[in-house]
C-alpha cells in the first residue's frame, strides 16, 4: 500500500489541476492530450462514461509523450482491469465499494477512491488509504466542508472534483488537506469539437499557475 500511495502522490503532485475528460470521439484523444501536456497538465483522467473511453486511454498511453493517463468513473472490478489493460497509470472512482477495494489490492495500479463524508474517509483510512477523491465537491459541502475535515481527519489528503472551476479552484487549493483538484474547464466541449488545441493549451497553462 505504501508503494501505491507514493506512486499516486507522485502523479497528483505533477500539477495543481487534473483534467477530467469525457471523450466522445477517440480521434480527439491524442491531440487533446498533447495540448494539455504542452500546457503543463501531464496527468489526465479520462472517464469511462463513453464507449470511446478505453480506446482513448490506450491511444494516449501509446502515442502521447509525457502524458500520464488515468481512468475515472470506475464502478467495478471489470472496469478497473480493463482500464489498467488499456494503459491507465491511476484509477479514480466516484465512491468506494468492497469490490473496487479488492480489485485495487490485486492491481499494481493505484486507486484514488471517492469519499464524500467523514465516515467514508474513516472507512478508507482503515483500509490504508490516506489519499482520496472528494466527490462531488461543491454539492457535498465545498471548500468549507473539506476544511472542517482537516483537523479531525489529519493525515488525509484530497483531490476535490465536481463543480470545480477556474473561479473556485483556488479556494480548494489553499486548503492544507488538498493536493490538487480535478476539473473539466481546461478542455471545454466546444473547444474540443472545434479542434482548438492552442486554446486548450492556453487554458492548461493558466491552470498550472494556480497556487497550492
- Are 36 and 204 a contacting pair, CB within 8 Å? yes
Cα 81 versus chain centre, distance: 17
Q: Both ends of the chain: CA-CA distance in Å?
A: 26
Q: Quick check: is 45 catalytic? A: yes
User: CA 196 to CA 27: how far, in whole Å?
Assistant: 14
Q: Quick check: is 133 catalytic? A: yes
3-state DSSP percent of the chain in helix, strand and coil, to 5: 45, 15, 40
**Among the options 4, 45, 102, 126, which is catalytic?**
45
**Among the options 133, 138, 189, 209, which is catalytic?**
133
Number of CB atoms found within 10 A of residue 140's CB: 16
Torsions phi, psi for 209 (to 5 deg): -85, -10
Segment holding 85, helix H or strand E = helix 77-86
Strand partners, 114: 133
Cis peptide before 69 (omega within 30 of 0): no
Active site residues: 45, 133
Amino acid at each position: 500500500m505504501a508503494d501505491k500511495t507514493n506512486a499516486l502522490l507522485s502523479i497528483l503532485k505533477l500539477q495543481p489541476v487534473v483534467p477530467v475528460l469525457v471523450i466522445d470521439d477517440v480521434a480527439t484523444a491524442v491531440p487533446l492530450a498533447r495540448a494539455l501536456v504542452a500546457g503543463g497538465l501531464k496527468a489526465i483522467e479520462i472517464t469511462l462514461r463513453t464507449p470511446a473511453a478505453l480506446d482513448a486511454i490506450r491511444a494516449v498511453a501509446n502515442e502521447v509523450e509525457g502524458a500520464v493517463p488515468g481512468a475515472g468513473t470506475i464502478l467495478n472490478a471489470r472496469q478497473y482491469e480493463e482500464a489498467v489493460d488499456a494503459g491507465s497509470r491511476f484509477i479514480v472512482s466516484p465512491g468506494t465499494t468492497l469490490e473496487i477495494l479488492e480489485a485495487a489490492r490485486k492491481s499494481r495500479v493505484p486507486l484514488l477512491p471517492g469519499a464524500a463524508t467523514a465516515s467514508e474517509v474513516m472507512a478508507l483510512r482503515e483500509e490504508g488509504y490516506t489519499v482520496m477523491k472528494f466527490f462531488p465537491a461543491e454539492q457535498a459541502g465545498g471548500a468549507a466542508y473539506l476544511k472542517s475535515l482537516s483537523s479531525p481527519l489529519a493525515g488525509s489528503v484530497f483531490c476535490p472534483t465536481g463543480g470545480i472551476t477556474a473561479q473556485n479552484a483556488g479556494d480548494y487549493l489553499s486548503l492544507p488537506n488538498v493536493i490538487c483538484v480535478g476539473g473539466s474547464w481546461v478542455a471545454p466541449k466546444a473547444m474540443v469539437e472545434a479542434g482548438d488545441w492552442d486554446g486548450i493549451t492556453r487554458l492548461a497553462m493558466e491552470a498550472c499557475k494556480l497556487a497550492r
